[in-house]
Amino acid sequence: MHPALIAASSSVSINLGNTLSKPTTSILVILAGTILSVAPSLLILCTGFVRIIIVLGLTRQALGLSTTPPNQVLVGIALFISIFLMTPTLTKMNHEALQPYLHGQMTATQAFSAGELPLKTWMLKQTGNEELAVTEKIAGYSPAQPMKAPLSTVIPAFLLSQLKSAFIIGFVIFVPFLIIDLVVSATLMSMGMMMLPPTLISLPFKLLLFVLVDGWVLVLQSLVSSFR
């Protein structure tokens, strides 16, 4: 038999299909471990968790309660509300970035850029122009459009806006309880009961008012509506 025919008949071809373009199992494990390790930071920095937990803490302080509800309860409420508010954005990021990357339709860089857009859009809606201008000035980078700003500039501005909004909502919550404290204090002074702490008398009235108006529901509704 001719040597060329022998070489042609002994050649082996391997078709790997699209497997080389997909991330391997090792990469997926490393990626999952990285996400789990930075998940608490992402939860605090890139969601409404900061605003929610501050408002809930100020509400507890306005009531005159130091440990009730416990911190674990407040954190749990803030966590689930944050996930609820971020569900549309997370769904969009999964559809436009994560799934195409897992199916080999995008590289890691392309997937990051595609997933960054929905998150940045959501954060910029909650970010004030003044806060964004401050962080851009500090970074020394002022793009023509806010969407072109990097996350390193958007995230600090977003956090500053969250703090500002949280304290504004907390001030509104404090006002009615402050009025109750003033009325109780003035009443005790007019009665000559100087030795009786006003907070001890005003606490039941504040709790009664909070229960009658269904305070926790009102606070949570106000928080959710402030994001929308």
Which amino acid appears at position 118 of this protein? P
Report pLDDT for 21: 54
The one-digit pLDDT tens for each residue of the chain (228 residues) are: 555 444 444 555 544 444 445 556 666 666 666 666 666 777 788 888 999 999 999 999 888 887 888 889 999 999 889 888 888 888 888 888 777 777 777 777 887 788 788 888 888 888 888 888 888 888 777 776 777 778 788 888 899 999 999 999 999 988 888 888 888 888 877 777 767 777 777 888 888 888 888 888 888 888 888 887
pLDDT of residue 27: 62
CA torsion sign for 201, 207, 208, 209 is positive
3-state helix/strand/coil string of 138-201: HHCCCCCCHHHCCHHHHHHHHHHHHHHHHHHHHHHHHHHHHHHHHHHHHHHHHCCCCCCCHHHH
User: Tokens 């911190």 belong to which residue?
Assistant: 71
pLDDT for residue 15: 47
Element (H, E) at 19: none
Q: Are the C-beta atoms of residues 129 and 135 closer than 8 Å to each other?
A: no
Closest listed residue to residue 82, CA positions, set 116, 126, 131, 114: 126
Task: Please give the Cα distance from 41 to 43 (Å, whole number).
Answer: 5
